[in-house]
Amino acid sequence: MIWTKSFTLEEINNRYNHSKHLGALLDINFTEIGEDFIKGTMPVNERTHQPYGILHGGASVVLAETLGSVASNLCINSDKFTAVGLEINANHLRAVRSGLVTGICSPIKLGPTLHVWEIKMFNDAGKMNCISRLTTMVVPLGKV
């Protein structure tokens, strides 16, 4: 297991998805945590649409960064360190008009100061609509 301890979905959603965070505003919810992945969903609706009625690419990036940043923070000693986004990219592969998108985040590399994550996003039909890569930096608390 890559996590520093066994986390429940309730703990993760309560800690990282309260009303003051962007993820909560877009209704991102963590839905599954495995040995080496974390999964979450985001609705595709008027809050996440761009003007043409399809999922905004920026909303996909918010889902990717939320999943990857939370995953990074679950892998480190949060009493001493925090992990913050350093670089993110995304390839938008398919338009999504409604339903939920589900992101699955898994590590590519977990180093002492840098983590690299792959986040694949799927529509309700199970077709990939976006793939993203996030690099996070692990820094001592108070140094952000």
Handedness of CA 119, 127, 10, 106 (dihedral sign): negative
Predicted confidence (pLDDT) at residue 18 exceeds the cutoff of 70: no
Show the domains of the chain with their CATH numbers: 9-140 (3.10.129.10)
pLDDT in tens, 22-55: 888 899 999 999 999 999 999 999 999 999 999 9
Question: Of the residues 10, 11, 46, 65, which is catalytic?
Answer: 65
Residue 127 pLDDT = 98
Q: How confident is the model at residue 142 (pLDDT cuts 50, 70, 90)?
A: confident
pLDDT at 69 over 70: yes
pLDDT tens by residue, 99-131: 999 999 999 999 999 999 999 999 999 999 999
Residue at 133: amino acid letter: R
**pTM of the complete model:** 0.95
Whole-number percent of the chain with pLDDT over 90: 90
Which residues have a Cβ under 8 Å from the Cβ of 18 and sit 6 or more positions away?
Answer: 24
Helix (H) / strand (E) containing 88: strand 81-92
How far apart CA 80 and CA 51 sit, in angstroms, is 43
Q: Give 23's contacts (C-beta < 8 A, 6+ positions apart).
A: 16, 17, 62, 66
Rounded Cα–Cα distance for residues 10 and 76 (Å): 19
Note if 65 is an active site residue.
yes
Burial of 31: CB neighbours in 10 Å, binned 0-12, 13-18, 19+: middle
Question: How many helices (H) does the chain have, and how many strands (E)?
Answer: 3, 6
